[in-house]
Amino acid sequence: MHARTLLATFVACLSTQVLAMTPSEQIMEQFIDAKDGDTITLPAGKFEFTQTLSVSANNLTIRGAGMDKTILSFKGQNTGNGIDATGKKITFEDFAIIDSKADGLKVQNCEDLTIRRLSVDWTGPVKESNGGYGLYPVACKRLLIEHNFVRGASDSGLYVGQSEDIIVRRNTVTENVAGIEIENSLRADVYENDAYNNTGGILVFSMPDLPVIRNGAGTRVFRNVIRDNNTPNFAGKGNIVGLVPAGTGVMILANRDVEIFENAIVNNQSASVIVTSFYASERPIKDPNYEAHARNTYIYNNVMKNSGYAPAGMLKDIQSGMGLAGVKLERMPHVVHDGILAGKIGNIGELKLCIKNNAMSEPNQAFVNTTLEDAGFWSALFRLWKPKAYDAIPAEHDCTLPALPAVAAVS
* Percent of the chain at pLDDT exceeding 70: 95
pLDDT at 342: 87
List phi, psi (to 5°) of 268: -105, 115
> Rounded to two decimals, what is the model's pTM?
0.93
Residue 130 CA: distances (Å) to CA of 12, 37, 134, 155: 45, 34, 10, 9
Q: Which pLDDT belongs to residue 241?
A: 94
- Stretch 365-369: mean pLDDT, rounded? 94
- 292 CB-side CA count, 13 A: 21
Mean pLDDT in residue range 42-68 = 97
- pLDDT above 70: residue 8: no
Q: What is the SS3 assignment for 395?
A: helix
How far is 273 from 127, CA to CA, in rounded Å?
Answer: 25
1: pLDDT strictly greater than 50: no
How high is the pLDDT of residue 266?
98
240-253 pLDDT, tens digit per residue, is 999 999 999 999 99
CB neighbourhood size of 168 (10 A): 30
**With contact defined as beta carbons under 8 Å apart, do 111 and 126 qualify?**
no
% of the chain beyond a pLDDT of 90: 83
Contact 298, 258 (CB under 8 A): yes
Of 14-18, 254-258, 340-344, 397-401, minimum mean pLDDT range: 14-18
The answer, yes or no, to whether residue 374 has pLDDT greater than 50, is yes
pLDDT digits (tens, 9 = 90+) for 133-182: 999 999 999 999 999 999 999 999 999 999 999 999 999 999 999 999 99
Confidence class for position 110, pLDDT limits 50, 70, 90: very high
User: Region 185-193: what's the mean pLDDT?
Assistant: 98
In tens, the pLDDT along 268-314 reads 999 999 999 999 998 999 988 899 999 999 999 999 999 999 999 99
What mean pLDDT is reported for the chain?
93
